[in-house]
Amino acid sequence: MTETNETPHPADALGGRLSLPQYPRSSRYDARWTIENQMGPHALWLLEWLAPALRLEGLSPDARVLDLGCGRAMTSVFLAREYGVQVTAADLWVKPDENAVRLAEAGVAGQVLPVHAEAHDLPFGEGSFDAIVSVDAYQYFGTDDLYLPSLTRLLRPGGRIGVVVPALREEIDGAEPPEHLKPFWEPAYWCFHSAGWWRRHWTRSGAVEVETADWLTDGWREWLLWCEVVAGHSTDQWHVEMAGRCAEMLRADQGRTLGFARVVGRRV
């Protein structure tokens, strides 16, 4: 992985296109590395947006963080390098030995432990972590009314959980998506909810005190930019096709419906 301490030079057209002023830390990472290891929206941008609400800067170097649904461990690398914490990189679909190679190449093998785990069967003891992070994954399992209490038992008392998920600006009434989204809509998208829905969902659980539940202003534009870049530069044809279709959907929507929400709660 290539990383510098400065924003990519303007001559690097790809790096420059992905260097957004609101994400200075993410801009230090090689654009091609992020493209080839992505599994959806730009995970580093989303994690950098989450970080202040989750108070990652305040964690000590020996703090233990669970990166739940880490994918190809880009977010785990980011957590270790940017915040100096000890990370458990848990994912169901990417094998630990595959992530171990990436972690070693990034120079964080001593800080990040890759594990194979399913979200409903996590092999950790109560109070194992100071914080839990999940970027573009929690929506697939966290809508279950009973899930959050089972997950937050892994936090020490007062520890925080923070997630960023694809979201709806407002909840959709009825059983059909908006007309302009029907050509793109898949049944799995019904796991997308508004920030207000997530606040209510977490509050009702009794497991956390919700500290943040908000919407990423212009998140759809950032998502569209990323999809366009992936569609134009990924070496994986499946990712090219998926990103192209996602870009088409976001252009049709123009931010009326889709974007991102972040939610942060403190274990009570």
Instruction: Give the other-Cβ count within 10 Å of 62's Cβ.
Output: 9
> What confidence score (pLDDT) does residue 6 get?
39
Superfamily of domain 13-220+260-267: Vaccinia Virus protein VP39 (3.40.50.150)
Query: Residue 244 and residue 259: Cα distance in Å, rounded?
Result: 17
* Nearest Cα residue to 223 out of 242, 247, 188: 247
Q: What is the mean pLDDT of the chain?
A: 95
CA 229 to chain CA centroid, Å, is 18
Query: Residue 77 and residue 197: Cα distance in Å, rounded?
Result: 30
Query: Residue 268 and residue 253: Cα distance in Å, rounded?
Result: 38
pLDDT tier for residue 1 given thresholds of 50, 70 and 90: low
Query: Residue 53 and residue 45: Cα distance in Å, rounded?
Result: 14
62 and 83 Cβ atoms separated by less than 8 Å = no
- For 170-226, strand residue ranges (E) read 208-215
What digits encode the pLDDT tens for the residues 146-193? 999 999 999 999 999 999 999 999 999 999 999 999 999 999 999 999
> What confidence score (pLDDT) does residue 12 get?
75
Percentage helix, strand, coil, to 5, in the chain? 40, 20, 35
Distance in angstroms between the alpha carbons of the first and the last residue of the chain: 39
Domains of the chain: which residue ranges?
13-220+260-267
Q: Is the pLDDT of residue 9 over 60?
A: no
CA 195 to chain CA centroid, Å, is 15
pLDDT tier for residue 13 given thresholds of 50, 70 and 90: confident
What digits encode the pLDDT tens for the residues 106-147? 999 999 999 999 999 999 999 999 999 999 999 999 999 999
SS (H, E, C) 21-69: CCCCCHHHECHHHHHHCCCCCCHHHHHHHHHHHHCHHHCCCCCEEEEEC
